[in-house]
Amino acid sequence: MLFLSTFVFAQKSKTANTVLAGGKPVHTYAKLPAVNKPAPQFTLTDVAMKDQTLESYKGKYMILNIFPSVDTGVCSASVRHFNEDAANIPNTVVLCISKDLPFAQKRFCGAEGIKNVVMLSDFRSDFGKTYGVEITDSAMKGLLSRAVVVIDPSGKIVYEEQVADMGNEPNYEAAIKAVKN
């Protein structure tokens, strides 16, 4: 019983983060992992229903484009934007991460001609909590907030942006600059 109480307290004592959704505050599980720290491990599902991990992309720059759902305007715009940018950046992979099912991600990429990013689903993992982006309240509870994390080839975080208002696109230029520095 004491262990359970301690566990619950530890979970509640995480530093929540506040972002806006439709102009209203919503909370995420925690803040993004810090710059200059090792990127937390993850296991996500690709469009072929296979597990992909942080190690799957080791040795490359990784741009994690994190968002609620590819079926919204701003989210799909971020995938399209990074799809164009990714084609021109050597030794870099863009991982587009949402709670969308892999089937929906595959359908979207096929319909949009998206070929330069990797779509990954958090539908059966704890990525949202590990990276602090899982929304903990509101009608969007359980989805991921809009954020970008850049990881260098050694596995260290070199850039992070928690987009303050999920109705806004991320700072693409800053993310690309983090790769090119």
Read off the tokens for 121.
């689903």
**For residue 26, which amino acid is it?**
V
Read off the tokens for 8.
């619950």
Read off the tokens for 123.
């539908």
Contact of 151 with 64, CB cutoff 8 Å? yes
Contact of 67 with 61, CB cutoff 8 Å? no
3-class SS string, 42-64? CEEEECCCCEEEHHHHCCCEEEE
Catalytic residue among 39, 47, 75, 178: 75
What angle do the packed helices 102-112 and 73-86 form, to 10 degrees? 60
DSSP H/E element including 159: strand 157-162
Q: Is position 75 annotated as part of the catalytic site?
A: yes
DSSP for 86-112, please give it.
Answer: HTTSTTEEEEEEESS-HHHHHHHHHHH
Catalytic residues, by residue number, are 75
